[in-house]
Structure 1
Amino acid sequence: MKLQQLLSYTRKAVDEYSMIQEGDHIAVGISGGKDSLTLLYALHGLKRFYPQKFELSAVTVDLGYEDCDFSPVKSLCRELDVPYHIVKTDISRILFEERKESNPCSLCAKMRKGALNQAVKEMGCNKVAYAHHKDDIVETMLLSLIFEGRFYSFSPKTYLDRMELTVIRPIMFVDEADVIGFKNKYNLPVVKSRCPVDGYTKRQYAKELVKQLNTEHPGVKQRMFTAILNGNISGWPERILHVR
């Protein structure tokens, strides 16, 4: 996927769900993975021509794993002229040494988001961008159906009352395969995850299930995504089509 196509998908999401307003200061949550680095490129590119002017910063929550070097991300942010902040935490030690969690994902996500949102507020940002793509949205819906018995996926835009912060997901229309292509084409400086349960989660199960379904029934992932967009899910904003 070329940058121009990424920007087209990003603008579609931003326009259809009114994600960006004049004067916003948006923090991009950077894990160091391919998705968040692609999102950084997307918003940096959009910033150059989007009619509503906005500021951009980047922030990483360092979970405290050894040998996790974010200096390549720091160099990229310097190259793009995007202010970059690293928040040091002991989340990995708390999860695996103190609590010895066998299923740490839910608690890790909660602690990570808490640290990220707090840092974003302290940086003076009013919005934070998460790097969830189309596959994430479909996988979340499947996980909700299978394990919770409800038709749900996270919203393109969510206002967090307690934090007075808006979460946006600008690459929601991008397929993970295109993210991988973008990462390879532009040599994104991916920082490998050091999490010991990476690849052994319920989300990985959902990812493989979607892949299998789409192989057996070509186009099923897109149809599931369309069902989500049209599903009147509670908490989702109104979709504005035919934006000029």
Structure 2
Amino acid sequence: MQLQRLLSYTRKAVDEYNLIQEGDHIAVGISGGKDSLTLLYALHGLKRFYPKRFQLSAVSVDLGFDDFDLSPVQVLCKELEIPYQIVKSDIYHILFDIRKESNPCSLCAKMRKGALNQAVKEMGCNKVAYAHHKDDIVETMLLSLIFEGRFYSFSPKTYLDRMDLTVIRPIMFVEEKDVIGFRNKYELPVVKSKCPVDGYTKRQYAKELLHSLDKEHPGAKERMFHAILNGNIKGWPERIQIKPCPKEMS
């Protein structure tokens, strides 16, 4: 995927769900993975021409894994002239050494987001951008249907009143395969996850299920995604209809 195409999809999300306002200070949550680094490039590129001016920073939560080196991300942020902060934590030690959690994902996510959001506030940001893409949104809907019995997926924009912080998801229209293509084309400095349960989660199950459904019934993922967009899910902002995003841009 070309950068121009990524920027087109990003602007589509930003415009249709009113994700960015004049004077915003947005922190990009960086895990070190392909998704968050793609998001960083997307917002950095958008900042150059978007009519509403905004500031951009980046922040990572170091969970405490051995040999987890974020220096490649530090180098990238320096090249892009984006302020970058690493928040040290003992989340790994708490989950695996003290609590010995067999299913740590939910608690880990809660603790990680808490540490991230606190750091974002301390940096003076009013918004934090998460790198959830189209596949994540559909997978979340499947997980909600299967394990919770409700039709739900996370919103493009969510206001956290207790933190006075707004979460935005600017690459929600980008497919994971395009993120992979972007990573390969632009040689993003991906930092491999050290989590011992990576690849063995319910999220991975939903990913494989979605792939299977879309393979057996071509277009199924796209139809499910549009069902979510048109599903009047509680908490979702009103969508502003914009011109369709082109499939390919040179």
Per the shorter chain, which TM-score range?
Answer: over 0.9
Give the CA deviation at 1:153. Answer: 0.0
Q: Secondary structure in 1 aligned to 2:49? A: coil
Give the CA deviation at 1:15. Answer: 0.2
Q: Distance in 2 between matches of 1:114 and 1:167?
A: 13
Q: Distance in 1 between matches of 2:5 and 2:199?
A: 29
Partner of 1:140: 140
Q: Distance in 2 between matches of 1:215 and 1:140?
A: 19
| TM-score when normalising by structure 2 | 0.97
Partner of 1:116: 116
Give the CA deviation at 1:36. Answer: 0.1
Which runs of structure 2 are paired with 1:120-199 in the superposition (5 Å)? Answer: 120-199=120-199
Q: Does 1:217 align with 2:217?
A: yes
Runs of 4+ in 1 over 3 A off after TM superposition: none
| TM-score when normalising by structure 1 | 0.99
Which runs of structure 2 are paired with 1:85-104 in the superposition (5 Å)? Answer: 85-104=85-104
Asked whether the equivalents of residues 12 and 242 of structure 2 are also in contact (C-alpha less than 8 Å), the reply is no
Give the CA deviation at 1:242. Answer: 2.7
Q: Distance in 1 between matches of 2:14 and 2:21?
A: 10
Partner of 2:44: 44
Which runs of structure 2 are paired with 1:28-67 in the superposition (5 Å)? Answer: 28-67=28-67
Structure 2: runs of 5+ lacking an equivalent:
244-250
Give the CA deviation at 1:100. Answer: 0.1
Q: Give % identity.
A: 83
* Paired amino acid for 1:220: A
Q: Could you report, residue by residue, the CA deviation over 1:14-42 in whole angstroms, capped at 9, with x for unpaired residues?
A: 00000000000000000000000000000
Q: Secondary structure in 2 aligned to 1:46? A: helix
Q: Could you report, residue by residue, the CA deviation over 1:174-199 in whole angstroms, capped at 9, with x for unpaired residues?
A: 00000000000000000000000000
- Report the aligned-residue RMSD: 0.5
Q: Distance in 1 between matches of 2:212 and 2:22?
A: 43
Partner of 2:72: 72
Q: Distance in 1 between matches of 2:242 and 2:64?
A: 45
* Paired amino acid for 2:176: E
Give the CA deviation at 1:162. Answer: 0.1
Partner of 2:247: none
Q: Could you report, residue by residue, the CA deviation over 1:183-236 in whole angstroms, capped at 9, with x for unpaired residues?
A: 000000000000000000000000000000000000000000000000000000
Q: Could you report, residue by residue, the CA deviation over 1:114-159 in whole angstroms, capped at 9, with x for unpaired residues?
A: 0000000000000000000000000000000000000000000000
Q: Distance in 2 between matches of 1:170 and 1:231?
A: 19
Give the CA deviation at 1:4. Answer: 0.1
Structure 1: runs of 5+ lacking an equivalent:
none
Number of equivalent positions = 243
Asked whether the equivalents of residues 28 and 59 of structure 2 are also in contact (C-alpha less than 8 Å), the reply is yes
Q: Distance in 2 between matches of 1:126 and 1:212?
A: 39
Partner of 2:26: 26
Asked whether the equivalents of residues 15 and 242 of structure 2 are also in contact (C-alpha less than 8 Å), the reply is no
* Paired amino acid for 1:236: W
Q: Secondary structure in 2 aligned to 1:48? A: helix
Q: Distance in 1 between matches of 2:205 and 2:71?
A: 32
Partner of 2:227: 227
Q: Secondary structure in 2 aligned to 1:60? A: strand
Q: Secondary structure in 1 aligned to 2:120? A: helix
* Paired amino acid for 1:112: R
Q: Distance in 2 between matches of 1:165 and 1:36?
A: 19
